[in-house]
Structure 1
Amino acid sequence: MIIHTLGGKQTDSYAATRHYLDQKRIDGKIVLHPSFEEIYDQIAAFAGDYLLVPAAFRSQSGSSWGDLHYKYLTHLDLVDSFITKLDTMVVAKRSAPRAIAYSHAATASLLKSLLPSDVELRLAPSKVAAYQAFLHDGRYVLTSQKLLGSSLQDIQILKKLPAKMLWSLYRII
């Protein structure tokens, strides 16, 4: 079994795929991609493989899991679903000259609701990518707490957000 999902190994998608394979006792291969959009754009090339995607997925162009479920109905067969606990998400802040916030598209509305209205919100393909961009020029980020590690010298955690996720496993036709 070959499962395509969002990478790298720090993502919730990788952890969920690993969880699924372990729970089902399947010796599968995980193929990590820099974005779900890349997988969907090349879906026909992966016929016979599988795709694992979170139900809360939203593309950077605004397409939801439901939009993509129906758009790719002839290429994807929903075969399983399960729930996992996500790594605790955090809203973090650091000193930066411009009021820029980074988020994955799926969590953008949540982050926007927690910040001052004058903050410029920028989207990233994953919470990992959002954190990396935040370190470059961001003031705020919504990301996974584990990414912060112990390097909190300049970073303040404003809010912790524990969450669960519903995952969808598709066979690619």
Structure 2
Amino acid sequence: MPGVTVTAAVRAMAARHPDLALDVVRTSWDEQTRVVLDGRVDVCFVRMPVDRQGLRLRPMFAEPRVAVLPADHRLAGKASVGIAELAAEQLLQDPDAVPEWRDLPERLAEQRHSRPRLVANTVEEKLEYVAAGEGILVLPVSVVTFYTRPDVVHVPIEDIADSQVCLAWSAGRPSQLVRDFVESAAAALAG
């Protein structure tokens, strides 16, 4: 997942199983659980919320989420914002990824009249729309720092939950190697 660094977990597993070939696969929000359920990967770092059906999950870490705004946005210079201050903004991502925004009373009343969400599949595409003033994003701080650009700023959101990152694996394909990876990753990330 963008912003999630897996190096420590992969190295810990490689130290535990030196003869095991480990491949790292990039995923996205849209496919983060699908790659586990269809067997393309054995484990995946996923950003919550996800549909838990068919999965086992173990929390790994949490990180703050920030509002991603055009550099000239009216809120761009603030030290922090509340989620309600973003209610009138066009969200450029799946509203289910930001239930705190989606469920604001102003949003619920406006849903009948809001314009359709622009279709952008990657963080890079979404950031282009933000820079162009088409809307905003709410992202984990590690994603924003990974994609630093001069025409986009981020502002901490003071009243929403952190982004939770979990390890996910198939409930239907138990494996000692998967259990070993989960334990190794948890130990590596705890340090």
Task: Calculate the TM-score normalised by the size of structure 1.
Answer: 0.53
Aligned-residue offset at 1:33: 3.6
For residue 54 of structure 1, the aligned residue among 46, 56, 62 is 46
SS of aligned partner of 1:31:
coil
Quick one: which amino acid aligns to residue 26 of structure 2?
L
Alpha-carbon separation, structure 1, partners of 2:122 and 2:52: 15
SS of aligned partner of 2:93:
strand
Structure 1: segments with no counterpart, 5+ residues: 1-5, 59-63, 71-77
With over 3 angstroms needed to count, the CA separation of the structure-2 counterparts of 1:19 and 1:168, relative to structure 1, is farther
The residue number in structure 1 matching 2:64 is 88
Quick one: which amino acid aligns to residue 64 of structure 2?
T
The residue number in structure 1 matching 2:165 is 165
Higher strand share: 1
SS of aligned partner of 1:29:
coil
The residue number in structure 1 matching 2:136 is 140
Residue by residue over 1:21-48, the C-alpha shift from the partner in whole angstroms, topping out at 9 and shown as x without a partner, is 233335511122444179459926x3xx
Larger radius of gyration: 2
Instruction: Count residues with an aligned counterpart.
Output: 142
Residues 103 and 143 of structure 1 are in contact (CA less than 8 Å); yes or no, is this contact kept in structure 2? Answer: no
The residue number in structure 2 matching 1:61 is none
The residue number in structure 1 matching 2:99 is 109
Quick one: which amino acid aligns to residue 139 of structure 1?
G
With over 3 angstroms needed to count, the CA separation of the structure-2 counterparts of 1:156 and 1:40, relative to structure 1, is closer
Residue by residue over 1:38-59, the C-alpha shift from the partner in whole angstroms, topping out at 9 and shown as x without a partner, is 9459926x3xx5131537243x
Q: In angstroms, what is the RMSD of aligned CA positions?
A: 4.3
Quick one: which amino acid aligns to residue 23 of structure 2?
K
SS of aligned partner of 1:166:
strand
Matches within 5 A, 1:30-49: 30-34=24-28, 35-36=30-31, 39-40=34-35, 43=38, 46=40, 49=41
The residue number in structure 2 matching 1:21 is 10
Residues 62 and 163 of structure 2 are in contact (CA less than 8 Å); yes or no, is this contact kept in structure 1? Answer: yes
Structure 2: segments with no counterpart, 5+ residues: 74-87, 174-191
Alpha-carbon separation, structure 1, partners of 2:172 and 2:125: 26
Residues 95 and 101 of structure 2 are in contact (CA less than 8 Å); yes or no, is this contact kept in structure 1? Answer: no
Alpha-carbon separation, structure 2, partners of 1:54 and 1:113: 23
Residue by residue over 1:64-86, the C-alpha shift from the partner in whole angstroms, topping out at 9 and shown as x without a partner, is 222xx17xxxxxxx5xx543224
Aligned-residue offset at 1:164: 3.5
Residues 36 and 44 of structure 2 are in contact (CA less than 8 Å); yes or no, is this contact kept in structure 1? Answer: no
Alpha-carbon separation, structure 1, partners of 2:154 and 2:45: 30
Task: Calculate the TM-score normalised by the size of structure 2.
Answer: 0.49
Residues 103 and 111 of structure 1 are in contact (CA less than 8 Å); yes or no, is this contact kept in structure 2? Answer: no
SS of aligned partner of 2:48:
coil
Residue by residue over 1:88-119, the C-alpha shift from the partner in whole angstroms, topping out at 9 and shown as x without a partner, is 321233357x9421235552312324695346
Quick one: which amino acid aligns to residue 22 of structure 1?
R
